[in-house]
Amino acid sequence: MANVHQRIRSDHATEIAEDYVEAIADIITRNGQCRANDLVRLFDVTHATVNNTVARLVRDGFVTTEPYQPLDLTSTGKTLARKCRERHEVVRAFLLALGVSDATAIADSEGIEHHVSQETLIAMKQVLDTRSLPDGV
Amino acid sequence: MANVHQRIRSDHATEIAEDYVEAIADIITRNGQCRANDLVRLFDVTHATVNNTVARLVRDGFVTTEPYQPLDLTSTGKTLARKCRERHEVVRAFLLALGVSDATAIADSEGIEHHVSQETLIAMKQVLDTRSLPDGV
DNA sequence: CCTAAAAGTTAGCCTCGGCTAAACCATGAG
DNA sequence: CTCATGGTTTAGCCGAGGCTAACTTTTAGG
């Protein structure tokens, strides 16, 4: 009864790590490299905040940095990014299939993705694979 | 592009407020009253933590307390509790309809509920109303 | 080649949501 | 009536994730 709540609370730090790692991977894909400033713009926080967070990511083995150089993901970081990106995609596609607007699908998936278990993810994928919900509903 | 992320971050405090308010309402319904100790047991945190959090809830106008007395919800608190409970229920029922296990539906809905917009909630309700997903899938 | 602007870093502060430890109140049993 | 016990409160600590302000490094223009 209690552990459910514990999990939710401790997950918060992980969520931000996931958001950053996912973003870094995306930006590298798009631009060839990712600089701290790109994250500043994306998340709309200050340089100092990005620095703090990136320092934690380095500490936790997801990212490598060198002074005044672009950020890089470790292989652990890349794996996490891939997992997050896929999960994020599934959730967004699922919400769209549910029939909500693009904007809502984007906004909600951003928050929901971190709380979707493997089992739920598979269930969502199944729905996406076997039928389009929107006209079926 | 940026505001999406802003929202996610500032929501964290709200999530905990919502969890507490929802829990307090549930406990009052079940036991006739809610004491700090009930929350200690439910969330598996210390008295001190419950005290801190409840102090914020009082500050924010959701709860009233008197020394050594049970907690009470303000009308704002009751309204919020009702909204949260309903949303939580819809999400859990929806996940069950998706075909995941009871345990997963309980665990995931706990995390997901805070990130479901009104639009998505309505879409979920529509699915629940118009058909049972499980055998339809 | 030098300097202004942009990018990055550092120091110091805040709140939130946790914790431990210690004190305080209330009550039921002896 | 006293006192053990359990509920409650208070004080003081921590890490995460924000901030501002001041500084340094890099880079691009003239």
Please give the pLDDT value at position A1. 42
- The DSSP bridge pattern shows strands A63-64 and A72-73 to be antiparallel
Please give the pLDDT value at position B130. 85
pTM recorded for the entire structure: 0.88
Partners of residue B130 in chain A, C-beta under 8 Å: 137
Name the pLDDT band for A130 (thresholds 50, 70, 90). Answer: confident
- CB–CB of B6/A44 below 8 Å? yes
User: What's CA B68's distance to the chain center, in Å?
Assistant: 25
Q: List, in order, residues 6 or more apart from B86 with CB less than 8 Å away.
A: none
Please give the pLDDT value at position B109. 96
- Please list the ranges in chain B whose pLDDT falls under 50: 1-2, 136-137
Answer whether B110 sits within 8 Å of A137, measured CB to CB: no
Q: List, in order, residues 6 or more apart from B43 with CB less than 8 Å away.
A: A2, A5, A6, B19, B23, B49, B50
- Nucleotide C21 C1' to residue A9 CA (A): 24
Please give the pLDDT value at position B1. 42
Instruction: Determine the residue type at A31.
Output: N
pLDDT at residue A137 tops 70: no
Answer whether B127 sits within 8 Å of A133, measured CB to CB: yes
List all residues of chain B from 33 to 72 with a beta carbon under 8 Å from chain A: 41-44
CA dihedral A118, A124, A125, A131 (to 10 degrees): 160
User: What's CA A40's distance to the chain center, in Å?
Assistant: 16
More confident residue, A53 or B130: A53
d(CA A100, CA A94): 10
Helix (H) or strand (E) holding B72: strand B72-73
pLDDT at residue A136 tops 60: no
Instruction: Give A64→chain B minimum CA distance, Å.
Output: 23
Partners of residue B117 in chain A, C-beta under 8 Å: 100, 104, 107-108
Q: Name the token pair of A96.
A: 């769209």
Q: What three-state secondary structure class fits A71?
A: strand
Give the pLDDT mean for A47-60. Answer: 95
pLDDT at residue A59 tops 50: yes
User: What's CA A43's distance to the chain center, in Å?
Assistant: 12
Please give the pLDDT value at position B131. 66
d(CA B136, CA B125): 16
- CB–CB of B15/B60 below 8 Å? no
Name the pLDDT band for A12 (thresholds 50, 70, 90). Answer: confident
Burial pattern A78-107, b for ≥16 Cβ within 10 A else e, equals bebbeebbebbebbbbbbbbbbbeeebbbb
Name the pLDDT band for A41 (thresholds 50, 70, 90). Answer: very high
Interface predicted TM-score (ipTM) of this complex, two decimals: 0.86
Q: Which nucleotides of C are covered by protein (CB under 7 A)?
A: 6-12, 16-22, 25-26
Please give the pLDDT value at position B136. 46
Nearest to B42 among A2, A44, A126 (CB): A2
Please give the pLDDT value at position A8. 54
Answer whether A115 sits within 8 Å of B116, measured CB to CB: no
Cross-strand bridge partners of residue A73: A63
For strand C, is any atom closer than 7 Å to the CB of A98? no
Name all domains of chain B by residue range, CATH numbers in brackets.
Answer: 3-78 (1.10.10.10), 86-136 (1.10.60.10)
For A81-126, what is each residue's pLDDT tens digit? 999 999 999 999 999 999 999 999 999 999 999 999 999 999 999 9
Please give the pLDDT value at position B137. 46
List all residues of chain A from 7 to 36 with a beta carbon under 8 Å from chain B: 7-9, 11-12, 15-16, 19
